[in-house]
Amino acid sequence: MGAMPVGDLAWWLGLLFGAAPLLCLAAYHAADAWYRAAFFLAHGKKRLPPGHMGIPFLGETLSLLWYFKHARRPDAFISAKKLAYSSSGHGGDGGDGIGMYRTHLFGSPSVIACSPAANKFVFQSPDSFGIRWPVPELVGVSSVVNVEGGAHARLRGFIIAAINRPSSLRTIAAVVQPRVVAALEAWAAKGSIVAAAEVKKVTFANICKMFVSMEPSPLTAQIDNWFGGLVAGLRAFPLDFPGTAFHRARKCRRNLNAVFRAELDSRKKAAAIKTKEEEEKELESCDVMGGLMQMKDEQGNKLSDDEVVDNIVSLVVAGYESTASAITWAAYHLAKCPAALARLREENLAMAAELGNGKFITHEDIPRLKYTAKVVEETIRMANIAPMVHRVARKDVEYRGCTIPAGWSVLVWVRSLHTDPENYLDPLVFNPDRWDEPAKPGTYQVFGGGYRICAGNMLARLQLTIMLHHLSTGYEWELLTPEAEIDYLPHPRPADGAAMLFRKLAKKAN
Protein backbone atom coordinates (compact mmCIF):
# COMPACT_ATOMS: atom_id res chain seq x y z
CA MET A 1 0.00 0.00 0.00
CA GLY A 2 1.40 3.41 -0.94
CA ALA A 3 1.41 6.55 1.25
CA MET A 4 -1.69 8.83 1.10
CA PRO A 5 -1.21 11.60 -1.50
CA VAL A 6 -0.47 15.01 0.07
CA GLY A 7 -3.68 16.49 -1.42
CA ASP A 8 -5.85 13.80 0.19
CA LEU A 9 -4.14 14.25 3.54
CA ALA A 10 -4.74 18.01 3.42
CA TRP A 11 -8.41 17.39 2.60
CA TRP A 12 -8.86 15.05 5.55
CA LEU A 13 -6.99 17.39 7.90
CA GLY A 14 -9.11 20.29 6.67
CA LEU A 15 -12.25 18.28 7.39
CA LEU A 16 -11.00 17.27 10.80
CA PHE A 17 -9.94 20.72 11.98
CA GLY A 18 -12.44 22.80 10.07
CA ALA A 19 -15.68 21.10 9.19
CA ALA A 20 -15.94 18.65 12.10
CA PRO A 21 -15.93 21.33 14.83
CA LEU A 22 -18.38 23.34 12.73
CA LEU A 23 -20.64 20.33 12.45
CA CYS A 24 -20.42 19.76 16.23
CA LEU A 25 -21.25 23.41 16.82
CA ALA A 26 -24.19 23.19 14.43
CA ALA A 27 -25.42 20.01 16.15
CA TYR A 28 -25.01 21.68 19.57
CA HIS A 29 -27.18 24.64 18.55
CA ALA A 30 -29.66 22.65 16.44
CA ALA A 31 -32.10 21.91 19.26
CA ASP A 32 -32.02 25.48 20.55
CA ALA A 33 -32.52 26.86 17.03
CA TRP A 34 -35.39 24.42 16.49
CA TYR A 35 -37.24 25.43 19.66
CA ARG A 36 -36.64 29.13 18.98
CA ALA A 37 -37.94 28.80 15.43
CA ALA A 38 -41.04 26.93 16.60
CA PHE A 39 -41.57 29.56 19.29
CA PHE A 40 -41.15 32.39 16.74
CA LEU A 41 -43.74 30.82 14.42
CA ALA A 42 -46.25 30.53 17.24
CA HIS A 43 -45.52 33.72 19.17
CA GLY A 44 -43.88 36.19 16.78
CA LYS A 45 -41.68 38.73 18.53
CA LYS A 46 -42.17 37.48 22.07
CA ARG A 47 -39.11 36.14 23.93
CA LEU A 48 -38.29 32.83 25.54
CA PRO A 49 -36.47 33.04 28.89
CA PRO A 50 -32.67 33.17 28.41
CA GLY A 51 -30.81 29.85 28.28
CA HIS A 52 -30.01 27.00 25.91
CA MET A 53 -31.88 23.83 25.01
CA GLY A 54 -28.72 21.67 24.96
CA ILE A 55 -27.97 18.89 22.50
CA PRO A 56 -30.66 17.24 20.37
CA PHE A 57 -32.87 14.73 22.25
CA LEU A 58 -30.83 14.76 25.48
CA GLY A 59 -30.90 18.51 26.07
CA GLU A 60 -28.86 19.44 29.14
CA THR A 61 -29.52 16.20 31.02
CA LEU A 62 -25.94 14.98 30.55
CA SER A 63 -24.59 18.30 31.76
CA LEU A 64 -26.82 18.07 34.86
CA LEU A 65 -25.66 14.50 35.51
CA TRP A 66 -22.08 15.62 35.13
CA TYR A 67 -22.44 18.37 37.73
CA PHE A 68 -24.50 16.26 40.16
CA LYS A 69 -22.90 12.82 39.78
CA HIS A 70 -19.40 13.23 38.43
CA ALA A 71 -18.16 16.66 39.56
CA ARG A 72 -20.31 16.54 42.73
CA ARG A 73 -20.84 20.31 42.44
CA PRO A 74 -24.62 20.47 41.96
CA ASP A 75 -24.82 24.22 42.49
CA ALA A 76 -22.40 24.88 39.65
CA PHE A 77 -25.14 23.77 37.20
CA ILE A 78 -27.19 26.86 38.10
CA SER A 79 -24.21 29.17 38.78
CA ALA A 80 -22.97 28.51 35.24
CA LYS A 81 -26.33 29.68 33.87
CA LYS A 82 -26.37 32.75 36.08
CA LEU A 83 -22.90 33.67 34.87
CA ALA A 84 -23.73 33.07 31.24
CA TYR A 85 -27.14 34.70 31.01
CA SER A 86 -27.36 37.46 33.63
CA SER A 87 -25.70 40.64 32.50
CA SER A 88 -25.03 41.66 36.12
CA GLY A 89 -22.74 38.63 36.30
CA HIS A 90 -24.15 37.32 39.54
CA GLY A 91 -27.56 36.21 38.42
CA GLY A 92 -30.60 36.33 40.66
CA ASP A 93 -32.87 39.08 39.45
CA GLY A 94 -30.00 41.41 38.55
CA GLY A 95 -29.31 42.78 35.08
CA ASP A 96 -31.19 40.99 32.38
CA GLY A 97 -31.56 37.97 34.65
CA ILE A 98 -35.18 37.23 35.38
CA GLY A 99 -34.36 34.27 37.62
CA MET A 100 -35.57 31.87 34.92
CA TYR A 101 -33.70 29.91 32.24
CA ARG A 102 -34.89 27.80 29.35
CA THR A 103 -33.41 24.32 29.05
CA HIS A 104 -34.30 20.74 28.09
CA LEU A 105 -34.16 18.25 30.94
CA PHE A 106 -35.49 14.74 31.62
CA GLY A 107 -36.99 14.56 28.13
CA SER A 108 -38.98 17.83 28.22
CA PRO A 109 -38.46 21.41 27.15
CA SER A 110 -38.27 23.18 30.49
CA VAL A 111 -37.87 26.43 32.34
CA ILE A 112 -35.84 26.54 35.53
CA ALA A 113 -37.00 29.09 38.13
CA CYS A 114 -34.27 29.91 40.64
CA SER A 115 -34.79 33.27 42.33
CA PRO A 116 -37.06 34.14 45.27
CA ALA A 117 -39.34 36.20 43.02
CA ALA A 118 -39.51 33.68 40.15
CA ASN A 119 -40.13 30.76 42.51
CA LYS A 120 -42.85 32.69 44.32
CA PHE A 121 -44.48 33.50 41.00
CA VAL A 122 -44.61 29.79 40.05
CA PHE A 123 -45.68 28.52 43.48
CA GLN A 124 -48.45 31.10 43.80
CA SER A 125 -49.99 30.89 40.34
CA PRO A 126 -52.06 27.70 40.39
CA ASP A 127 -54.02 28.87 37.33
CA SER A 128 -50.81 29.04 35.31
CA PHE A 129 -48.82 26.10 36.68
CA GLY A 130 -50.16 22.66 37.48
CA ILE A 131 -48.74 19.24 38.16
CA ARG A 132 -48.16 16.41 35.68
CA TRP A 133 -47.21 12.93 36.78
CA PRO A 134 -46.10 10.63 33.96
CA VAL A 135 -48.23 7.83 35.49
CA PRO A 136 -50.82 9.15 37.98
CA GLU A 137 -51.72 5.58 38.96
CA LEU A 138 -48.31 5.22 40.66
CA VAL A 139 -48.76 8.26 42.93
CA GLY A 140 -52.46 7.47 43.42
CA VAL A 141 -55.17 8.91 41.19
CA SER A 142 -57.10 10.38 44.12
CA SER A 143 -54.04 11.32 46.14
CA VAL A 144 -53.39 14.90 47.28
CA VAL A 145 -50.23 15.05 45.17
CA ASN A 146 -52.20 14.24 42.01
CA VAL A 147 -55.47 16.16 42.25
CA GLU A 148 -55.90 19.85 41.49
CA GLY A 149 -58.18 22.81 42.18
CA GLY A 150 -61.09 22.46 44.62
CA ALA A 151 -60.52 18.70 45.01
CA HIS A 152 -56.93 19.38 46.07
CA ALA A 153 -57.95 22.04 48.59
CA ARG A 154 -60.55 19.70 50.10
CA LEU A 155 -58.16 16.74 50.39
CA ARG A 156 -55.36 18.91 51.72
CA GLY A 157 -57.71 20.18 54.43
CA PHE A 158 -58.32 16.58 55.58
CA ILE A 159 -54.62 15.73 55.55
CA ILE A 160 -53.46 18.84 57.40
CA ALA A 161 -56.17 18.21 59.98
CA ALA A 162 -55.13 14.55 60.36
CA ILE A 163 -51.39 15.13 60.77
CA ASN A 164 -50.92 18.73 61.86
CA ARG A 165 -53.72 19.29 64.38
CA PRO A 166 -52.32 19.64 67.93
CA SER A 167 -54.05 16.47 69.16
CA SER A 168 -52.36 14.44 66.36
CA LEU A 169 -48.95 15.95 67.01
CA ARG A 170 -49.40 15.33 70.75
CA THR A 171 -50.27 11.67 70.16
CA ILE A 172 -47.47 11.27 67.62
CA ALA A 173 -44.87 12.77 69.98
CA ALA A 174 -45.89 10.22 72.59
CA VAL A 175 -46.03 7.14 70.34
CA VAL A 176 -42.75 7.65 68.47
CA GLN A 177 -40.50 7.99 71.53
CA PRO A 178 -40.41 4.37 72.80
CA ARG A 179 -39.25 3.27 69.33
CA VAL A 180 -36.61 6.03 69.17
CA VAL A 181 -35.28 5.13 72.62
CA ALA A 182 -35.14 1.40 71.80
CA ALA A 183 -33.41 2.06 68.45
CA LEU A 184 -30.72 4.24 70.03
CA GLU A 185 -30.04 1.59 72.71
CA ALA A 186 -29.64 -0.99 69.92
CA TRP A 187 -27.25 1.25 67.94
CA ALA A 188 -25.07 1.74 71.01
CA ALA A 189 -25.02 -2.01 71.60
CA LYS A 190 -23.73 -2.47 68.04
CA GLY A 191 -21.05 0.19 68.56
CA SER A 192 -20.70 0.93 64.88
CA ILE A 193 -23.60 1.68 62.55
CA VAL A 194 -24.43 2.98 59.09
CA ALA A 195 -26.68 5.82 60.24
CA ALA A 196 -28.69 6.15 57.00
CA ALA A 197 -29.78 2.49 57.18
CA GLU A 198 -30.55 2.49 60.90
CA VAL A 199 -32.44 5.80 60.78
CA LYS A 200 -34.55 4.48 57.92
CA LYS A 201 -35.56 1.45 59.98
CA VAL A 202 -36.69 3.44 63.00
CA THR A 203 -38.40 6.08 60.83
CA PHE A 204 -40.39 3.37 59.06
CA ALA A 205 -41.33 1.68 62.34
CA ASN A 206 -42.63 5.04 63.55
CA ILE A 207 -44.52 5.70 60.34
CA CYS A 208 -46.30 2.33 60.65
CA LYS A 209 -47.25 3.19 64.20
CA MET A 210 -48.32 6.81 63.53
CA PHE A 211 -50.23 6.15 60.34
CA VAL A 212 -51.80 2.72 60.76
CA SER A 213 -50.90 1.54 64.31
CA MET A 214 -48.90 -1.42 62.99
CA GLU A 215 -46.10 -2.94 65.07
CA PRO A 216 -43.00 -4.32 63.30
CA SER A 217 -43.81 -7.73 61.76
CA PRO A 218 -43.06 -9.72 58.60
CA LEU A 219 -45.96 -7.80 57.01
CA THR A 220 -44.46 -4.37 57.79
CA ALA A 221 -41.10 -5.61 56.42
CA GLN A 222 -42.93 -6.57 53.23
CA ILE A 223 -44.70 -3.18 53.14
CA ASP A 224 -41.30 -1.47 53.50
CA ASN A 225 -40.04 -3.52 50.58
CA TRP A 226 -43.04 -2.52 48.45
CA PHE A 227 -42.49 1.15 49.27
CA GLY A 228 -38.88 0.79 48.13
CA GLY A 229 -40.09 -0.70 44.84
CA LEU A 230 -42.71 2.02 44.38
CA VAL A 231 -40.26 4.89 44.95
CA ALA A 232 -37.68 3.33 42.61
CA GLY A 233 -40.38 3.11 39.91
CA LEU A 234 -41.44 6.73 40.36
CA ARG A 235 -37.91 7.69 39.33
CA ALA A 236 -37.63 5.11 36.52
CA PHE A 237 -38.39 5.39 32.82
CA PRO A 238 -42.01 4.18 32.30
CA LEU A 239 -41.21 0.92 30.46
CA ASP A 240 -43.83 -1.58 31.51
CA PHE A 241 -42.65 -5.17 31.07
CA PRO A 242 -41.46 -7.81 33.52
CA GLY A 243 -38.02 -7.02 34.90
CA THR A 244 -38.26 -3.21 34.69
CA ALA A 245 -38.29 -1.00 37.79
CA PHE A 246 -41.49 0.60 36.51
CA HIS A 247 -43.28 -2.76 36.14
CA ARG A 248 -42.25 -3.72 39.68
CA ALA A 249 -43.43 -0.33 40.99
CA ARG A 250 -46.94 -0.89 39.57
CA LYS A 251 -47.07 -4.27 41.28
CA CYS A 252 -45.84 -2.76 44.56
CA ARG A 253 -48.48 -0.03 44.33
CA ARG A 254 -51.24 -2.64 43.84
CA ASN A 255 -49.96 -4.64 46.82
CA LEU A 256 -49.83 -1.54 49.01
CA ASN A 257 -53.35 -0.53 48.02
CA ALA A 258 -54.57 -4.05 48.81
CA VAL A 259 -52.94 -4.22 52.23
CA PHE A 260 -54.20 -0.78 53.33
CA ARG A 261 -57.65 -1.51 51.89
CA ALA A 262 -57.83 -4.69 53.99
CA GLU A 263 -56.84 -2.66 57.07
CA LEU A 264 -59.52 -0.08 56.28
CA ASP A 265 -62.20 -2.75 55.78
CA SER A 266 -61.44 -4.39 59.09
CA ARG A 267 -61.63 -1.00 60.83
CA LYS A 268 -64.99 -0.30 59.21
CA LYS A 269 -66.35 -3.60 60.49
CA ALA A 270 -65.12 -2.81 64.00
CA ALA A 271 -66.54 0.75 63.79
CA ALA A 272 -70.00 -0.58 62.88
CA ILE A 273 -70.47 -1.76 66.46
CA LYS A 274 -69.14 1.37 68.17
CA THR A 275 -71.28 4.08 69.74
CA LYS A 276 -71.06 7.70 68.55
CA GLU A 277 -69.35 8.74 71.83
CA GLU A 278 -66.76 5.98 71.46
CA GLU A 279 -66.06 7.14 67.91
CA GLU A 280 -65.65 10.78 68.95
CA LYS A 281 -63.33 9.84 71.82
CA GLU A 282 -61.24 7.75 69.45
CA LEU A 283 -60.82 10.61 66.96
CA GLU A 284 -58.84 12.53 69.60
CA SER A 285 -56.16 9.87 69.93
CA CYS A 286 -56.37 7.82 66.75
CA ASP A 287 -53.71 7.23 64.11
CA VAL A 288 -53.61 9.08 60.78
CA MET A 289 -55.71 6.49 58.93
CA GLY A 290 -58.35 6.69 61.67
CA GLY A 291 -58.34 10.49 61.38
CA LEU A 292 -58.76 10.38 57.60
CA MET A 293 -61.60 7.85 57.89
CA GLN A 294 -63.60 9.75 60.48
CA MET A 295 -63.17 13.42 59.62
CA LYS A 296 -65.91 15.32 57.82
CA ASP A 297 -65.71 18.42 55.65
CA GLU A 298 -67.98 21.47 56.09
CA GLN A 299 -70.77 19.75 54.20
CA GLY A 300 -70.50 16.73 56.50
CA ASN A 301 -68.92 14.49 53.83
CA LYS A 302 -66.21 11.96 54.63
CA LEU A 303 -63.39 10.83 52.34
CA SER A 304 -64.12 7.83 50.13
CA ASP A 305 -62.29 4.55 50.84
CA ASP A 306 -60.15 5.03 47.71
CA GLU A 307 -59.16 8.50 48.87
CA VAL A 308 -58.14 7.23 52.32
CA VAL A 309 -56.02 4.42 50.84
CA ASP A 310 -54.41 6.54 48.11
CA ASN A 311 -53.51 9.26 50.58
CA ILE A 312 -52.07 6.95 53.22
CA VAL A 313 -49.72 5.57 50.54
CA SER A 314 -48.83 9.13 49.40
CA LEU A 315 -48.14 10.29 52.93
CA VAL A 316 -45.73 7.43 53.51
CA VAL A 317 -43.96 8.13 50.21
CA ALA A 318 -43.72 11.86 51.03
CA GLY A 319 -42.74 11.47 54.67
CA TYR A 320 -40.53 8.39 54.85
CA GLU A 321 -37.24 8.94 53.01
CA SER A 322 -37.42 12.71 53.51
CA THR A 323 -37.61 12.47 57.30
CA ALA A 324 -35.00 9.70 57.48
CA SER A 325 -32.66 11.74 55.33
CA ALA A 326 -33.08 14.86 57.52
CA ILE A 327 -32.32 12.87 60.69
CA THR A 328 -29.21 11.32 59.10
CA TRP A 329 -27.95 14.75 58.05
CA ALA A 330 -28.50 16.11 61.55
CA ALA A 331 -26.31 13.36 63.05
CA TYR A 332 -23.73 13.94 60.30
CA HIS A 333 -23.45 17.71 60.77
CA LEU A 334 -23.43 17.52 64.56
CA ALA A 335 -20.59 14.98 64.41
CA LYS A 336 -18.64 17.55 62.41
CA CYS A 337 -19.64 20.51 64.56
CA PRO A 338 -18.89 19.72 68.24
CA ALA A 339 -19.68 23.27 69.37
CA ALA A 340 -23.25 23.00 68.05
CA LEU A 341 -23.64 19.53 69.57
CA ALA A 342 -22.45 20.83 72.96
CA ARG A 343 -25.07 23.61 72.95
CA LEU A 344 -27.78 21.23 71.78
CA ARG A 345 -26.84 18.79 74.53
CA GLU A 346 -26.83 21.53 77.17
CA GLU A 347 -30.34 22.67 76.24
CA ASN A 348 -31.75 19.16 76.08
CA LEU A 349 -30.07 17.94 79.27
CA ALA A 350 -31.62 20.93 81.05
CA MET A 351 -35.02 19.96 79.66
CA ALA A 352 -34.52 16.29 80.61
CA ALA A 353 -33.52 17.28 84.16
CA GLU A 354 -36.60 19.48 84.44
CA LEU A 355 -38.88 16.67 83.28
CA GLY A 356 -37.17 14.19 85.64
CA ASN A 357 -37.48 10.40 85.96
CA GLY A 358 -36.66 9.74 82.30
CA LYS A 359 -40.01 11.26 81.23
CA PHE A 360 -40.53 11.78 77.51
CA ILE A 361 -40.79 15.30 76.12
CA THR A 362 -44.24 16.30 74.96
CA HIS A 363 -45.48 18.31 72.02
CA GLU A 364 -46.00 21.22 74.44
CA ASP A 365 -42.34 21.11 75.67
CA ILE A 366 -40.91 21.46 72.18
CA PRO A 367 -41.37 25.24 71.62
CA ARG A 368 -39.05 25.79 74.62
CA LEU A 369 -36.16 24.03 72.85
CA LYS A 370 -35.00 27.19 71.08
CA TYR A 371 -31.48 26.12 70.07
CA THR A 372 -32.78 22.72 68.98
CA ALA A 373 -35.22 24.48 66.65
CA LYS A 374 -32.29 26.30 65.04
CA VAL A 375 -30.43 23.00 64.55
CA VAL A 376 -33.56 21.60 62.91
CA GLU A 377 -33.88 24.49 60.42
CA GLU A 378 -30.17 24.52 59.63
CA THR A 379 -30.19 20.76 59.02
CA ILE A 380 -33.15 20.97 56.67
CA ARG A 381 -31.66 23.97 54.85
CA MET A 382 -28.39 22.20 54.23
CA ALA A 383 -29.91 18.80 53.45
CA ASN A 384 -31.81 20.12 50.41
CA ILE A 385 -33.82 16.92 50.38
CA ALA A 386 -36.03 18.18 47.57
CA PRO A 387 -33.58 20.06 45.30
CA MET A 388 -36.34 21.03 42.88
CA VAL A 389 -40.12 20.96 42.65
CA HIS A 390 -41.90 20.08 39.38
CA ARG A 391 -44.71 21.96 37.69
CA VAL A 392 -46.03 22.29 34.14
CA ALA A 393 -47.23 25.46 32.37
CA ARG A 394 -50.99 25.04 31.80
CA LYS A 395 -50.98 27.87 29.20
CA ASP A 396 -48.54 30.42 27.76
CA VAL A 397 -47.39 32.40 30.79
CA GLU A 398 -45.79 35.85 30.66
CA TYR A 399 -43.12 36.65 33.24
CA ARG A 400 -41.01 39.82 33.18
CA GLY A 401 -40.95 40.20 29.42
CA CYS A 402 -40.53 36.48 28.64
CA THR A 403 -43.04 33.79 27.74
CA ILE A 404 -43.11 30.29 29.20
CA PRO A 405 -44.82 28.20 26.50
CA ALA A 406 -47.84 26.04 27.38
CA GLY A 407 -46.91 22.44 28.11
CA TRP A 408 -43.30 23.14 29.11
CA SER A 409 -42.02 21.74 32.38
CA VAL A 410 -41.20 24.27 35.07
CA LEU A 411 -38.56 23.24 37.59
CA VAL A 412 -38.56 25.35 40.72
CA TRP A 413 -34.92 24.97 41.73
CA VAL A 414 -35.32 25.62 45.47
CA ARG A 415 -31.85 24.22 46.25
CA SER A 416 -30.13 27.18 44.63
CA LEU A 417 -31.76 29.59 47.11
CA HIS A 418 -30.34 27.72 50.10
CA THR A 419 -26.78 27.55 48.77
CA ASP A 420 -26.55 31.10 47.40
CA PRO A 421 -24.06 33.26 49.39
CA GLU A 422 -26.27 36.27 48.63
CA ASN A 423 -28.97 34.65 50.79
CA TYR A 424 -26.88 32.82 53.41
CA LEU A 425 -23.39 33.81 54.53
CA ASP A 426 -21.00 30.85 53.98
CA PRO A 427 -23.96 28.76 52.83
CA LEU A 428 -22.11 25.44 52.94
CA VAL A 429 -21.14 25.88 56.61
CA PHE A 430 -23.45 24.30 59.23
CA ASN A 431 -24.28 27.23 61.49
CA PRO A 432 -27.49 27.01 63.55
CA ASP A 433 -26.83 30.54 64.89
CA ARG A 434 -27.68 32.01 61.50
CA TRP A 435 -31.30 31.37 62.56
CA ASP A 436 -31.01 34.07 65.23
CA GLU A 437 -32.37 36.19 62.39
CA PRO A 438 -35.11 34.95 60.08
CA ALA A 439 -34.05 34.13 56.52
CA LYS A 440 -34.46 36.91 53.92
CA PRO A 441 -38.00 36.82 52.50
CA GLY A 442 -38.48 34.08 49.91
CA THR A 443 -35.06 32.47 50.39
CA TYR A 444 -36.14 29.47 52.48
CA GLN A 445 -38.23 27.10 50.41
CA VAL A 446 -37.16 23.69 51.74
CA PHE A 447 -40.81 22.67 51.93
CA GLY A 448 -41.82 24.29 48.64
CA GLY A 449 -44.28 27.17 48.78
CA GLY A 450 -47.75 28.41 47.97
CA TYR A 451 -50.82 26.20 47.90
CA ARG A 452 -48.84 22.95 47.75
CA ILE A 453 -46.33 23.68 50.51
CA CYS A 454 -45.39 20.46 52.30
CA ALA A 455 -48.39 19.21 54.26
CA GLY A 456 -46.12 17.33 56.68
CA ASN A 457 -43.62 20.05 57.58
CA MET A 458 -44.69 20.23 61.23
CA LEU A 459 -44.51 16.47 61.52
CA ALA A 460 -41.02 16.40 59.97
CA ARG A 461 -39.81 19.07 62.42
CA LEU A 462 -41.41 17.22 65.34
CA GLN A 463 -39.70 13.93 64.51
CA LEU A 464 -36.35 15.59 64.00
CA THR A 465 -36.63 17.43 67.33
CA ILE A 466 -37.53 14.26 69.21
CA MET A 467 -34.61 12.39 67.68
CA LEU A 468 -32.21 15.25 68.50
CA HIS A 469 -33.44 15.30 72.10
CA HIS A 470 -32.72 11.60 72.68
CA LEU A 471 -29.49 11.58 70.69
CA SER A 472 -27.98 14.56 72.46
CA THR A 473 -29.00 13.62 75.99
CA GLY A 474 -27.90 10.01 75.83
CA TYR A 475 -25.27 9.40 73.17
CA GLU A 476 -22.09 10.48 71.42
CA TRP A 477 -20.94 9.49 67.96
CA GLU A 478 -18.17 10.07 65.46
CA LEU A 479 -18.08 9.62 61.70
CA LEU A 480 -15.86 6.82 60.45
CA THR A 481 -15.12 8.67 57.21
CA PRO A 482 -15.69 12.38 57.85
CA GLU A 483 -14.42 13.24 54.37
CA ALA A 484 -16.70 10.72 52.60
CA GLU A 485 -17.99 12.01 49.24
CA ILE A 486 -21.57 13.27 49.01
CA ASP A 487 -23.95 11.65 46.51
CA TYR A 488 -26.48 14.15 45.15
CA LEU A 489 -28.83 11.89 43.20
CA PRO A 490 -31.59 10.98 43.67
CA HIS A 491 -31.27 12.84 47.00
CA PRO A 492 -28.20 14.22 48.75
CA ARG A 493 -26.60 11.77 51.19
CA PRO A 494 -23.13 10.89 52.42
CA ALA A 495 -21.84 8.17 50.07
CA ASP A 496 -20.96 5.88 53.01
CA GLY A 497 -24.44 6.36 54.52
CA ALA A 498 -22.82 8.28 57.44
CA ALA A 499 -21.07 5.24 58.94
CA MET A 500 -20.23 6.06 62.55
CA LEU A 501 -19.06 4.83 65.92
CA PHE A 502 -21.96 5.18 68.33
CA ARG A 503 -21.94 4.85 72.10
CA LYS A 504 -23.75 5.89 75.25
CA LEU A 505 -22.68 9.09 76.93
CA ALA A 506 -20.72 8.28 80.06
CA LYS A 507 -23.43 9.93 82.18
CA LYS A 508 -26.97 9.62 80.82
CA ALA A 509 -29.40 12.28 81.93
CA ASN A 510 -32.75 10.54 81.42
Type of residue numbered 374: K
∠ at Cα 445 (441, 448), nearest 5°?
A: 130
- What is the C-alpha separation between 1 and 11, in angstroms, rounded? 19
CA terminus-to-terminus distance, the chain: 88
Which among 218-226, 340-348, 449-457, 482-490 is the span making contact with ligand HEM, rule CB under 6 A?
449-457
Name which position in 105, 139, 223, 315 contacts ligand HEM (CB under 6 A).
315
Name which position in 455, 466, 467, 479 contacts ligand HEM (CB under 6 A).
455
456 counts as binding ligand HEM under rule CB under 6 A: yes
Name which position in 308, 313, 330, 446 contacts ligand HEM (CB under 6 A).
446
Q: What is the DSSP letter of 504?
A: E
286 counts as binding ligand HEM under rule CB under 6 A: no
Nearer to ligand HEM, 115 or 322 (CB): 322
Which residues, in sequence order, are CB contacts of 4 under 8 Å at separation 6+?
12
Which among 182-190, 229-237, 312-320, 465-473 is the span making contact with ligand HEM, rule CB under 6 A?
312-320
Say if residue 252 carries a ligand binding annotation: no
Size of the site for ligand HEM (CB under 6 A): 25
- What is the C-alpha separation between 194 and 198, in angstroms, rounded? 6
Distances (CA, A) of 291 to 164, 267, 456: 11, 12, 15
- What is the C-alpha separation between 99 and 118, in angstroms, rounded? 6
Shortest CB 58 distance to ligand HEM, Å: 25
Of 175, 173, 187, 119, the residue nearest 369 (C-alpha):
173
Contact yes or no for 382/418 (Cβ under 8 A): yes
Nearer to ligand HEM, 31 or 145 (CB): 145
380 counts as binding ligand HEM under rule CB under 6 A: yes
352 counts as binding ligand HEM under rule CB under 6 A: no
Shortest CB 14 distance to ligand HEM, Å: 53
Shortest CB 439 distance to ligand HEM, Å: 15
Type of residue numbered 21: P
Q: What is the sign, positive or negative, of the torsion defined by CA atoms of 336, 337, 338, 342?
A: negative
x/- map, 152-171, ligand HEM, by CB under 6 A:
----x--x---x--------
Distances (CA, A) of 53 to 34, 36, 111, 337: 9, 9, 10, 42
Residue, CB closest to ligand HEM? 456
Nearer to ligand HEM, 159 or 231 (CB): 159
Residues of this chain that interact with ligand HEM (CB under 6 A) are 144-145, 156, 159, 163, 314-315, 318-319, 322-323, 326, 380, 385-386, 389, 446-448, 452, 454-456, 459-460
Q: Which residues line the annotated binding site for heme? A: 454
